[in-house]
Amino acid sequence: MRPADDDEALQRLIAAVADGDERALRALYDAVSPKLYGVILRIQRDRAAADDVLQDVFLRIWQGAGSYVPTSGRPLSWLCAIARNRAIDRIRRKSEVRPPAADEEEDWLDRIADPFDGEGAILDRDALNACLARLERAQRDCVLLAYCEGYSREELARRYDRPVNTIKTWLHRSLAALKGCLESLS
């Protein structure tokens, strides 16, 4: 299945969930829960807590599916943002201590890999890897720490010894560069 087909299928499921279709919610869960669980687990680190967060994520999806606007972005991106935000919220609420960041030489995209990914997702990941490689190292690492590890802007400012506004600028410009690069590759 092509990514566009995946997007259309997910959009239909989200629309059905917005209409209160419980079967659509189960189908959506089956389709995306491994990916969302991976996003949560990379931030949360504790499997029991990650399980709880995943349940909370699907409750949020059930309650907020009507707020998804297909023209605002890909459905999986919307779902992953919910998962990421809920995982970060849980850490902040519980004041849990996160283990130190992984070795800087580690291949981040291998950590994001999902065994359920199809060929399209693998190609998307390859494109993302190519685009990430075009960023300056500090900005690339900042993006990865923020969006894969759940670091706040304040934590990144302390880590890089830069003002919070500089970190915000790095993230904004890096995301814009990634978006442009990914669009040029698709």
Identify the structural domains of the chain with CATH numbers, from first to last: 3-94 (1.10.1740.10), 108-185 (1.10.10.10)
Q: DSSP states of 86-145 as a string?
A: HHHHHHHHHTPPPPPPPPTTS-HHHHH--TT--HHHHHHHHHHHHHHHTS-HHHHHHHHH
Task: Give per-residue pLDDT as tens, 16-65.
Answer: 999 999 999 999 999 999 989 988 888 887 888 889 999 999 999 999 99
**CA separation (Å) from 58 to 54, 67, 82, 86, 176?**
6, 14, 9, 10, 29
Report the alpha-carbon distance of residue 93 to residue 118 in Å, rounded.
35
Q: What pLDDT sits at residue 128?
A: 78
Mean pLDDT, residues 75-88: 89
Task: Give per-residue pLDDT as tens, 4-19.
Answer: 568 899 999 999 999 9
Report the alpha-carbon distance of residue 146 to residue 178 in Å, rounded.
14
Q: What pLDDT sits at residue 54?
A: 93
What is the phi-psi region of residue 142: left when phi exceeds 0, alpha when psi lies from -120 to 50, beta otherwise? alpha
Report the alpha-carbon distance of residue 138 to residue 79 in Å, rounded.
27
Of 9, 133, 160, 130, nearest in space to 75 by CA: 9
Task: Give per-residue pLDDT as tens, 169-180.
Answer: 998 898 888 888
Task: Give per-residue pLDDT as tens, 87-112.
Answer: 888 877 765 444 444 444 445 544 44
Q: How confident is the model at residue 68 (pLDDT cuts 50, 70, 90)?
A: very high
Only one residue has tokens 């900042």, namely: 142
Q: What pLDDT sits at residue 119?
A: 41
Sign of CA dihedral 118, 123, 128, 133: positive
